[in-house]
Structure 1
């Protein structure tokens, strides 16, 4: 990791450099490659010591700024904030990669199919039961016909809109209508 220092109204001493570098060694494991670059800006104004760190890593920029009476405490807190931001970013990157793998796997099988496949060891098959003649009728006519049959649903073409609909029996005794 490359670290650059800039001092505004103050000279960057070797002690400050070693302090910052020792703290960055503790969080270097987060940035497991050498592409990370940090720019440390130290500013003193009216007794307020400000430590600002701008870190560039992989196409991301993390920025922290802390003001304190002591320069060393300001830099330590800024590095702590930077560590929290970096861990959050790294977790987000890892989660997005893992979720993309899950969505690729989900395209091949639905979660219900996976649960059944895990329980039985086989994937469920689609078995063609029978064919339906989709007749034009109103939803009310479909409800009358469904109440007469022992079937749980009926597929029909709506006579008014010419769309295909599905009417099914609900557990509460009513009928449910599915329209595209």
Structure 2
């Protein structure tokens, strides 16, 4: 796994980088060597936020944790990633084309959950600009909105982020 470590508003010490490498090495048996892991550490108001994103063959695993100490936030985010991987291990197995792999670790103590779809909805996808989609989303009182982009013709999603800003999800070509 290729690991990129980025510090925002904080200087990262070498021992923290080594700790990140060691903690993410636990996932080496699950992900291929071509997997990309990005670790972003941010300092905001005496709180350390650690975000880890792992990408492999179109699958994305992302977790974020905040704590007063950087190492504590790292432990929390690695545990959250472990839970995500445990929940999605069958998808990972199919993607990696491996018969079975053992996920017994201190991070994997939760039972498997069955995915249940509570509601299915269909609607007409209108062609509009990103700004029009954000206005429509706000009018509906939703936190996300799917639309067809008038410039590219692709299906996109706008969403409201936790920081109050907006994001756009676009398909990769």
With normalisation by structure 1, the TM-score equals: 0.49
Alignment of 1:55 with 2:63, yes or no, is no
CA distance in 2, matches of 1:24, 1:93: 17
CA distance in 2, matches of 1:69, 1:52: 14
Q: Which residue of 2 aligns with 1:67?
A: 66
What is the aligned-residue RMSD (CA, Å)?
A: 2.1
Aligned length: 97
Please state which structure has a larger fraction of its residues in helix.
Answer: 1
Deviation by residue 1:76-97 (Cα, 9 ceiling, x = unmatched): 1111111221232232344798
Q: Which runs of 5+ in 2 are unaligned?
A: 98-173
Query: Larger Cα Rg: Structure 1 or Structure 2?
Result: 1
Q: Which residue of 2 aligns with 1:78?
A: 77
CA distance in 2, matches of 1:93, 1:72: 28
After TM superposition, the structure 1 = structure 2 runs for residues 40-51 of structure 1, keeping only pairs within 5 Å, are 40-51=39-50
Q: Which runs of 5+ in 1 are unaligned?
A: 98-180
After TM superposition, the structure 1 = structure 2 runs for residues 23-172 of structure 1, keeping only pairs within 5 Å, are 23-31=23-31, 33-94=32-93
Contact 1:55/1:62 (<8 A) preserved: yes
Q: Which residue of 2 aligns with 1:148?
A: none
Deviation by residue 1:80-115 (Cα, 9 ceiling, x = unmatched): 111221232232344798xxxxxxxxxxxxxxxxxx
With normalisation by structure 2, the TM-score equals: 0.51
CA distance in 2, matches of 1:34, 1:57: 9
In the TM superposition, residue 43 of structure 1 has moved relative to its aligned partner by 0.5
CA distance in 1, matches of 2:83, 2:67: 19
Deviation by residue 1:9-41 (Cα, 9 ceiling, x = unmatched): 10121111011111111222121x212110000
CA distance in 1, matches of 2:43, 2:92: 36
